[in-house]
Amino acid sequence: MSEIVVSDSTCLIGLQRIRRLEVLPSLFERIWIPPAVAEEFGQSFAWLHIKAPLNTDLVESFQTMVDRGEAAAIALARELKCEVILDDRRARRLAATHHVPHLGLLGLLLRAKQKGNIDVIRPAVEALRSQGFFLSDQVIAEALRRAGE
């Protein structure tokens, strides 16, 4: 395991609500979050590292399109040349426009299953939905298909 990743708060909050935060440190060597995400998430863990993006002008520019945490997460991932975990459609489009690889919460769960860190993703997907996370039927069906469930 040698990957690093930047996360926005949605991923952290979602995994926390379904009691699956351990998925992140099981997949990545280092998980970075910008201060705006740390503030929004409101919790700290030894495996969760805070780093501010250096390019504040880029963050401000991104904030015209997405929220503060997402803007900072995309900018930080761009600087670190790593993947960013985002679920918001506009944020994912912005990341793609700036050639920042991105992964959603369902993609993260799928990766955890593929690496053998979890056995099935269906219970986690259902738990996310029951916690009020919007996941379209189409997106869920595709994730479950890829997971072989």
Q: What pLDDT, on the 0 to 100 scale, is given for residue 1?
A: 40
Tell me how far apart the alpha carbons of residues 63 and 71 are, in angstroms, rounded to a whole number.
Answer: 5
Place of tokens 């395991």: 1
* CB proximity list for 80: less than 8 A, separation 6 or greater: 4, 6, 32, 51
pLDDT digits over 107-133, tens only?
A: 999 999 999 999 999 999 999 999 888
Q: Is the pLDDT of residue 2 over 80?
A: no
> Given this model, what pLDDT does residue 136 score?
85
pLDDT band, very low/low/confident/very high, at 135 (cuts 50, 70, 90): confident
- Looking at the domain 4-147, which fold is it? Rossmann fold (3.40.50)
pTM, full prediction: 0.90
- List the chain domain ranges: 4-147
Q: Which amino acid is at 31?
A: I
Q: How does pLDDT run across 76-93, given as a tens digit for each residue?
A: 999 999 999 998 999 999
Residue 139 has a pLDDT of 87
